[in-house]
Amino acid sequence: MAKVGIIRCQQTEDLCGGTADFQFAAKGKGAFEAVGPSEVVGFVSCGGCPGKRAVARAKMLKERGAEVIVTASCMTLGTPLGFPCPHKDMILAAIRRALGESVTVLDYTHPAPKH
């Protein structure tokens, strides 16, 4: 079972409890199909715009056992508001640059719900 750390958007913390993120991880669905059923070892925010704390938080998640770092769908797909993070590409690139190939980095957790 893969050990994952999820980084979410701080702006959506009060709108989403992360339930779908945890369910998709446990079942190995959505982006987790790439790594299979997963155990979430940490669930943190990006630290707020523009996400400069995301790299330090990704490193911390790795130190705590995460083999996979995932940016939640609220950041990359904009769920639940339909407004993706304008800094998502820089955040993902910075995490990948900082951690190299020592961890897998996934860019969403679950598909956006259909309304």
DSSP letters spanning 93-113? HHHHHHHGGGSEEES-SSPPP
**pLDDT exceeding 90 applies to what percent of the chain?**
83
Q: pTM, whole model, 2 decimals?
A: 0.94
- Measured CA to CA in angstroms, residue 90 lies from 4, 49, 70, 95, 96 at distances of 21, 12, 14, 9, 10
Share of the chain above pLDDT 70, in %: 98
Question: pLDDT tens for residues 34-68?
Answer: 999 999 999 999 999 999 999 999 999 999 999 99
d(CA 41, CA 107): 17
Q: Kindly list the structural domains of the chain, giving each domain's residue range(s) and its CATH number in brackets, ordered by start.
A: 2-106 (3.40.50)
The Cα–Cα gap between 43 and 91 comes to: 16
Placement of tokens 């079972």 in the chain: 1
